[in-house]
Structure formats: structure tokens, C-alpha cells
């Protein structure tokens, strides 16, 4: 015979082509369902590895954002507490200025002293403020930081420590979250409790009142200066919050670039696979069911 | 001149030859769907002519034999490709199961590592909170469980591959003994010049099955067929088969032996090679990487925890230093992933503080968190190292699948080629049948004519008398 003899059984070829198409279609359908082109590592080994890294980075950003959320509340509680301290000290200064007036009667001065004693306890309670059970101004100690103590020169002694805590809110980015109470309230020559204590003493003795007022004013200035720390810290974490938001978007874009299924492409893949499957089935169906034998009569 | 009887015998010879040719067609049609069947072709030869005086007369036709159409070289190529395919198929199937462990999910190792470090982040904002501390312990437990589950699943898979190895070895033994007995029958038939093509076809089918299991080389010699593995281990020599056996090795897996020598590492292709590759190399490789990572994480986190102080106050008023957060991994690292476990149940034992006198300090959380960016395994961070494991698992499957596809394609082409030589075409058989039938009819007609002529000759005397 001169012509090339062909394989009289093309069926296995067609079946294997059909199998491949069906597999392709099922992959495309899965991609459409999950919206991801990587549904198992072998779909794109390098992409799957990159996805692991992107996911880890993204979950890290989530945790930075959570940390920022909780330290932000902590910082703003501390800040508003100090704002109250400042207001109270302002009142103490004006009371002191009032008391320095020589024309005041003893009764008037004693009324002022009463109010100042109230202010003193108010300040102690503000300095012992806490957030979710944690003292804000105890350094890293867990004890109540300021205790009324008749033996202390200022009438109040500090039981906290000078420790500070840092919280990580970005890769290699740590922010200090507290200032020890001693640093805020016990400034050298600007001690809040010493100032009030001395002012009360001066008013009772009716002497040296202006000096005591200066002392309280120094304390006022000092606390105001320390308060700036909290303002700055809140600014810092808010800026970082914004940055992390952007970072998160960029990571999800990266995620999408690595594994995002392009719906239009996938959908048309599913359709074209279906067409090819039908065509193959047609080819199988239209394979001659008759042979020359049927025509021999 | 020739005789009428001579002519008659030419015609009857032709009848026999055409009938024999028709036999071939019948057998071909009957076996149209028989796997491995090679079509028969009648070999018709002219008989030696007879010379009488100056005239040479033809002596008709004989059916010399029915020849089976096969291409031994193609058959060998098919066997080789079948072996390749068997290996790739076993490898890809096994690794597809293994890679499931490394698919990003809510509980895979990568996710649990990230969750653990997130829980530390939470702790840093509220270091004395027992809830945050419990959160860290839970996340640590989940991370350990992810390692345990992944390692255990891989180990189980290894055992089931081992079982498959034993089953394949028995299957190989069944096939080789069948092939040996066919060899015997074939050489006996050939010894008395009988056609053994039916048995040869059967043997080819069995060799094909054997090829999908193990690497087989065939050597055809005068005294029959010899089958060996590619490294020369005899499987079948003529009528004798050599059974493979298995023995449990030190790691509890079955090694394959042939006549007393270990050939496990010498099996180069076929399903057995694929199974052995995953069982002895790929899965142990993945397990050892997981062990390295688990041990690195546990050791570094333990070291970091020991740098800080717990919430527990000692009699002297200072805080107790941190101990192991995780059970210390085995020194060799082997089994670290499957045995990874949290060493403490009391959340206050997490050493968050860096100040022995202040439980509210979070200074040591930074040391614990730093492990995330430390080189814990092979100079890589935990996440980087893990992502490489994911890559390796995915890449094995992806490469294997690509090779499997191309091997399938080659095999299809070879089968096509085989089909074009050996396959039965019904159209061709029908046309052959018509041809042989017509020839038979014609020969029969010749016989009738000669018969008439003989009648004429026999009655010649009567006519003249």
C-alpha cells in the first residue's frame, strides 16, 4: 500500500484531550469561585511563596493597627488627665494670687486653704489615674503611684518606678507610650505636690505666699511641658495609622497582582473550554459508526 | 505442456491460500478491540515454476504464513515511556496530597506563625493583662498544633506510600512469573515452528503493565526473552522469573531486595521509582525543613523568654525570670515539628517584663517579637523559610505535572504510531475480505471450468465411438 496507514483508533487521543480540557475548565471554575489563581502551591509555586510573605506582612500590619488602636486610647486618656491637672493647677495659681493679697481676712484665707486642700486630693487622684486597670503614671510598676504620706516633704510620695514601655507600631518603629509619674509630677523645683503643700503652708502662715505661687506656676509650666509628650505621641501614632492604611492597600494590591484572578479572562476561559469540550465530544460522536462492512451486500 | 490435473491442483491450491488469507482477516476482525493485538497479514508466495521443454509453467500460490505486524523498537520506546509515565504519575499523585498541607488556609503553619506574633503585639500594649497573655499561649499552642498536624500528615502519607511499595512489589512478582511462563510456551511453540504471535501479544501487554511499575529492559536472545531492571537486576530470564522481596529497614520502611541484594535506590523509573522518590526523599526533605523551622522558632523564643521576667513574685520581692515557652526541641532537631508543644499553661509565666522589679514593663515582648525577623533557620526568618518550603512543595508538583503531561503526549504519539502499524482497521479488513473472496470465487470458477474440460476429455471416446 502506498499511502501512510493511520491509527484506526484515535479514541484514546480524543479522550486524553477531553480529560485535559475538563481539568482546565475545573481549574478555571475554581479560580472563578475563589477569585484567586493560586488555590494550591503548584498553581504557581513562586506566587504561592510570595503570597505567604504578603499574608504575613499583612497580618503584621493588622497587629500594628490593633496596637495603635489600644495605645491611642491609653495616650488620649493620659493626655486628658494631664489636661485636668493643668486646669486644676491654674485654679490653684489664681487662688494663690488671691491669697497673696494682704487685705484678706483670716477667714478668707482659710476658705482658700480649704479649696487648695481639695485641689491637693484631686491632684493625687488624677496622678493615680488608670486605663483598663493599668496606672497611667506609675512607670512600669503595677502599684498605685502616688500615696498620701505625712512623712514626705510634699505630703505625697511616689511608689512607681522610672520605667517606660515601648510598643512597636511599624517595622523597626517603636513608640514610647508612657512617661513615669515622677517625671511629670515631681520636677525639680517644679513639684506639683510640693508646690501645693508649700502654698497651703504659706497661706496658713500668711507669709511667703508669692514665692509659693511661683513654685506652683513652675509646676504648672513643667506639667504643661511634659504633656506635650502625649500630644506628640498621639500625632505620631495617627500618622503611622495612616501610613499603615496605605501600606495595607499596597499589600492587598500586591496580593491581587500575584494571585488575583482576572474575572473576565477566567470567565472567557471557562466558556472557551466549554466550547472546546463540546467540539471534542462532537468529534467523538461523529466518528464513523459504520465501516466498509456495512456497505457489502 | 501441463496437464489438466496439474491446472486443477493450481486452482485448488489457490482456494486454500485465499481461504487462509481470509482466516487472517477473520482473526483481525475478531480481535478489533483486543488490547495489544497486532494485526495478522497473510504472506502469499508464488510456487516454484515447472519447466517442461521450452515452456515454463507457473505452479500457483501458497500461503507461506500469517505474519503478525509489530515494530519491536517502537514497542521498546512505548515501554520506556510507560516507565517514565508510571514514575511521574506516582510522584505527582503523592505530592499533590502533600502540598495540600502547604496551601494558605486559616490553620496552615504560615498563618499560625503570623497569628502568634500578632498576639505578642497585643501583649505589648497591655503586658499585665491575663487575657492578652492567654491570647499568646493560645496562639503558641495553635502554632505548635499546625506544625504537629503537618508533620504527622506527611508521616502518615509516607506510611501509605510504603504500603503501596509492598503492593507494587507483589504485583511485579505476579507479572514476572506470568511473563516467564509465557516465555516458556513461546519458545516451545517456536521450537516446532508454530506461530506464537498470540502469546507474544499477550506478553507485550504484560511487559507494558510491568513497565508502568518498574524500569524494565528487554533483551531478545535465541533462548527467549530476558527482562532486567536498568541496573541489570534480572527479573525474567527465559522461562525463569526472579521474585523481588521486601525487608523492613531501620526507619521502618520497606526496602526492595532481589536475590539478597538491596536494589531500593537503583530503581530508576516506573511507579515504584516515583513512590520511593516521594517516600525516601521528597517527604523526608519537607519533614526535615519543618523540623529545622520548628526547632529554630522554639529555641529562639525560649531564649527570648529567658531574657525577661514573669509575673511571678519571688520571696525576695523580685520577679522570677522567664523559662522555656516551648518544650525544648530534640538536640538533633529531628522530630521537632511533630513534637512541638507549649511548655507552660500558666499565662503569668510569659516573660513580658524586662525589669525584675516591675511587672508592668513590656520590655521583653520586643525580644520575643524580634524572633519574627531573626534568622531562625538556615539564616532565614521564620516566614521566609516557610515560604521556601511552600515553594518547594508547589514546585515539585508543578514540574512533575508538566513532565507528566509531556510524557503523556509522547506516549499518545507512540501509541498512535503503534496503532498505525499494528492496529486493525475494519475498512481495510472489509476490502481485504472482498479481495480474498473474489480470488476464491475466481479459483472456484477455474476448478469448475477444468472440471468441464475433464468431462469433455473423458467423453471424447464416446462422442467418436
For A9, the closest chain B residue by CA position comes to B419
Residue A274 placed within a domain: no
**What are A14-17's contacts with CB under 8 Å, separation 24+?**
A14/A280, A14/A283, A14/A284, A15/A284, A16/B408, A16/B412, A17/A280
Which of these, A115, A49, A117, A85, lies nearest to A226 by C-alpha position?
Answer: A85
Shortest Cα distance, chain A CAs vs residue B371, angstroms: 13
- Which of A2, A5, A8 to mutate: most B Cβ within 10 Å? A8
B415: chain A residues, CB-CB within 8 Å? 7, 12
- State the residue range of the domain holding A82: 52-253
A133 — pLDDT class (breaks 50, 70, 90): confident
- The answer to whether the beta carbons of residues B200 and B183 sit under 8 Å apart is no
Give the single-character DSSP code of B215: -
Closest CA to B298 of B147, B152, B155: B147
Cell numbers representing residue A199 in the block? 502654698
Interface contact flag, A7 B401, Cβ < 8 Å: no
Q: Is residue A83 part of a domain?
A: yes
A149 burial (CB, 10 Å; 0-12 / 13-18 / 19+) is middle
The sign one gets for the Cα dihedral B44, B50, B56, B60 is negative
Backbone torsion region of residue A223, taken as left when φ is above 0, otherwise alpha when ψ lies between -120 and 50, otherwise beta: alpha
Does the pLDDT of residue B342 top 90, yes or no?
Answer: yes
Query: Is A141 a member of any domain?
Result: yes
Domain count, chain A: 1
In a domain, A291, yes or no: no
Q: Is the pLDDT of residue B367 over 60?
A: yes
The tens digit of pLDDT for each residue in A241-288 reads 999 999 999 999 988 888 888 888 889 999 999 999 999 899 888 887
pLDDT at A1 over 80: no
Average pLDDT, chain B: 92
Q: What is the pLDDT of residues B158-175, one digit of tens each?
A: 999 999 999 999 999 999
As a whole number of angstroms, the distance between CA A28 and CA A17 comes to 17
Is-contact B206 B182, C-beta < 8 A?
A: yes
In this predicted structure, what is the pLDDT of residue B1? Answer: 44
Cβ–Cβ gap A42/B102 under 8 Å: no
Cα gap A41→A107, rounded to integer Å: 85
Contact B427 A291 (CB under 8 A): yes
pLDDT classification of B223: cutoffs 50, 70, 90? low
Per residue in B88-145, pLDDT tens?
999 999 999 999 999 888 889 999 999 999 999 999 999 999 999 999 999 999 999 9
A7 closest CB neighbour out of B395, B420, B427: B420
On whether any CB of chain A is under 8 Å from the CB of B231, the answer is no
Question: Which residues on A lie below 8 Å from B386 (Cβ)?
Answer: 52
Q: What is the ipTM of this complex?
A: 0.84
Whether residue A16 lies inside any domain: the answer is: no
Q: Grid coordinates representing B238?
A: 527465559
Mutation site, A39, A42, A159, interface B, largest B CB count within 10 A:
A42
- Cell readout for B439 is 480470488
Give contacts of A62 with chain B, Cβ < 8 Å. 118
CA B384, CA A55: separation in Å to the nearest integer? 12
Contact (Cβ atoms closer than 8 angstroms) between residue B78 and residue B411: yes
| pLDDT number for residue A83 | 96
**Interchain proximity A16–B412, CB inside 8 Å:** yes
Contact A49 B423 (CB under 8 A): no
C-alpha to C-alpha distances, B329 to A194, A214, B137, B298, nearest whole angstrom? 57, 64, 18, 7
Closest-CA residue in chain B for A74? B125
A-chain CB neighbours of B74 within 8 Å are none
Q: Is residue A170 part of a domain?
A: yes
Specify the pLDDT at position B191.
85
Contacts of A20 in chain B (CB under 8 A): 405
Name chain A contacts of B113, Cβ cutoff 8 Å: 56
User: Smallest Cβ distance to B412: which of A12, A51, A53?
Assistant: A12
* Total length of chain B: 465
* pLDDT at site A2: 54
pLDDT score for B410:
93
CB-based contacts of A252, cutoff 8 Å, min separation 6: A58
CB contact under 8 A, B102 and A292: no
Q: If you count residue pairs, one on A and one on B, with CB atoms under 8 Å apart, how many are there? A: 194
Q: What is the CATH number of the domain that holds A127?
A: 1.20.1330.10
- What's chain A's length in residues? 297
Contact across the interface for B102 and A166, Cβ inside 8 Å? no
- Residues in chain B within 8 Å Cβ distance of A12: 412, 415
Q: Burial of A183 by CB count in 10 Å (0-12 exposed, 13-18 middle, 19+ buried)?
A: middle
* CB-based contact A179:A228 (threshold 8 Å): no
Amino acid at each position: 500500500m502506498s499511502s501512510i496507514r493511520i491509527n484506526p483508533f484515535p479514541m484514546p487521543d480524543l479522550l486524553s484531550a477531553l480529560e485535559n480540557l475538563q481539568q482546565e475548565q475545573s481549574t478555571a471554575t475554581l479560580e472563578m469561585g475563589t477569585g484567586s489563581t493560586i488555590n494550591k502551591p503548584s498553581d504557581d509555586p513562586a506566587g504561592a511563596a510570595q503570597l505567604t510573605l504578603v499574608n504575613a506582612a499583612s497580618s503584621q500590619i493588622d497587629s500594628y493597627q490593633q496596637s495603635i488602636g489600644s495605645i491611642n486610647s491609653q495616650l488620649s486618656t493620659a493626655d486628658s488627665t494631664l489636661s485636668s491637672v493643668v486646669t486644676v493647677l491654674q485654679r490653684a495659681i489664681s487662688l494663690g494670687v488671691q491669697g497673696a493679697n494682704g487685705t484678706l481676712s483670716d477667714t478668707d484665707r482659710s476658705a482658700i486653704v480649704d479649696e487648695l486642700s481639695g485641689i491637693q486630693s484631686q491632684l493625687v487622684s488624677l496622678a493615680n489615674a488608670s486605663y483598663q486597670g493599668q496606672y497611667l503614671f506609675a512607670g512600669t510598676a503595677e502599684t498605685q503611684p502616688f500615696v498620701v504620706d505625712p512623712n514626705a516633704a510634699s505630703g505625697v510620695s511616689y511608689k512607681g518606678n522610672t520605667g517606660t514601655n515601648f510598643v512597636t507600631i511599624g517595622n523597626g518603629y517603636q513608640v514610647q507610650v508612657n512617661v513615669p509619674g515622677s517625671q511629670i509630677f515631681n520636677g525639680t523645683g517644679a513639684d506639683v505636690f510640693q508646690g501645693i503643700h508649700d502654698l497651703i503652708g504659706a497661706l496658713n502662715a500668711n507669709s511667703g505666699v508669692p514665692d509659693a505661687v511661683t513654685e506652683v506656676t513652675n509646676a504648672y509650666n513643667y506639667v504643661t511641658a511634659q504633656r506635650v509628650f502625649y500630644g506628640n505621641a498621639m500625632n505620631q501614632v495617627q500618622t503611622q495609622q495612616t501610613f499603615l492604611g496605605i501600606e495595607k492597600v499596597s499589600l492587598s494590591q500586591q496580593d491581587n497582582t500575584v494571585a488575583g484572578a482576572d474575572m473576565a479572562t477566567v470567565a472567557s476561559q471557562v466558556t472557551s473550554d466549554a466550547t472546546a469540550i463540546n467540539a471534542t465530544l462532537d468529534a467523538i460522536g461523529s466518528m464513523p459508526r459504520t465501516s466498509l462492512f456495512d456497505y457489502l451486500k | 505442456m501441463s496437464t489438466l490435473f496439474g491446472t486443477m491442483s493450481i486452482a485448488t491450491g489457490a482456494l486454500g491460500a485465499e481461504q487462509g488469507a481470509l482466516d487472517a482477516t477473520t482473526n483481525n476482525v475478531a480481535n478489533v478491540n483486543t488490547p495489544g493485538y497486532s494485526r495478522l497479514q497473510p504472506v502469499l508466495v508464488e510456487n516454484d515454476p515447472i519447466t517442461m521443454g521450452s515452456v515454463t509453467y507457473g505452479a500457483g500460490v501458497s500461503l507461506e504464513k500469517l505474519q503478525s505486524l509489530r515494530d519491536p523498537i517502537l514497542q521498546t520506546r512505548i515501554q520506556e515511556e510507560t516507565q517514565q509515565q508510571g514514575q511521574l504519575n506516582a510522584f505527582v499523585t503523592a505530592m499533590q496530597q502533600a502540598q495540600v498541607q502547604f496551601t494558605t488556609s486559616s490553620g496552615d503553619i504560615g498563618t499560625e506563625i503570623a497569628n502568634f506574633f500578632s498576639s505578642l503585639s497585643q501583649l505589648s500594649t497591655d503586658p499585665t493583662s491575663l487575657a492578652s497573655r492567654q491570647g499568646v499561649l493560645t496562639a503558641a499552642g495553635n502554632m505548635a498544633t499546625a506544625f504537629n498536624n503537618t508533620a504527622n500528615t506527611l508521616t502518615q502519607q509516607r506510611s501509605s506510600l510504603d504500603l503501596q511499595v509492598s503492593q507494587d512489589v507483589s504485583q511485579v512478582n505476579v507479572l514476572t512469573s506470568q511473563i516467564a511462563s509465557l516465555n516458556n510456551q513461546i519458545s516451545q511453540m517456536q521450537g516446532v515452528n508454530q506461530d506464537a504471535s498470540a502469546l507474544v501479544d499477550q506478553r507485550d501487554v504484560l511487559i507494558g503493565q510491568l513497565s508502568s511499575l518498574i524500569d524494565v529492559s528487554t533483551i531478545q536472545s535465541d533462548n527467549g526473552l530476558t527482562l532486567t531492571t536498568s541496573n541489570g537486576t534480572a527479573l525474567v530470564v527465559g522461562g525463569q522469573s526472579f521474585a523481588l522481596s521486601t525487608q523492613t529497614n531501620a526507619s521502618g520502611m520497606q526496602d526492595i531486595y532481589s536475590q539478597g541484594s538491596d536494589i531500593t535506590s537503583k530503581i530508576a523509573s516506573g511507579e515504584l521509582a516515583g513512590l520511593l522518590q516521594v517516600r525516601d526523599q521528597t517527604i523526608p526533605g519537607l519533614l526535615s525543613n519543618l523540623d529545622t523551622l520548628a526547632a529554630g522558632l522554639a529555641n529562639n523564643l525560649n531564649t527570648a523568654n529567658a531574657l525577661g521576667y514573669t509575673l511571678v513574685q519571688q520571696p525576695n520581692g523580685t520577679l522570677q525570670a522567664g523559662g522555656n515557652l516551648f518544650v525544648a526541641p530534640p538536640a538533633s532537631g529531628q522530630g521537632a515539628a511533630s513534637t512541638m508543644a507549649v511548655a507552660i499553661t500558666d499565662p503569668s509565666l510569659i516573660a513580658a517584663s524586662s525589669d525584675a522589679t516591675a511587672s508592668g514593663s513590656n520590655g521583653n515582648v520586643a525580644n520575643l517579637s524580634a524572633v519574627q525577623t531573626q534568622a531562625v533557620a538556615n539564616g532565614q526568618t521564620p516566614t521566609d523559610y516557610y515560604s521556601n518550603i511552600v515553594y518547594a512543595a508547589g514546585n515539585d508538583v508543578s514540574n512533575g505535572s508538566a513532565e507528566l503531561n509531556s510524557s503523556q503526549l509522547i506516549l499518545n504519539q507512540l501509541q498512535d504510531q503503534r496503532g498505525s502499524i499494528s492496529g486493525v482497521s475494519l475498512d481495510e479488513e472489509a476490502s481485504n475480505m472482498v479481495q480474498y473472496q473474489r480470488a476464491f470465487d475466481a479459483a472456484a470458477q477455474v476448478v469448475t471450468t477444468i472440471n468441464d474440460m475433464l468431462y469433455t476429455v473423458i467423453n471424447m471416446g464416446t462422442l467418436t465411438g
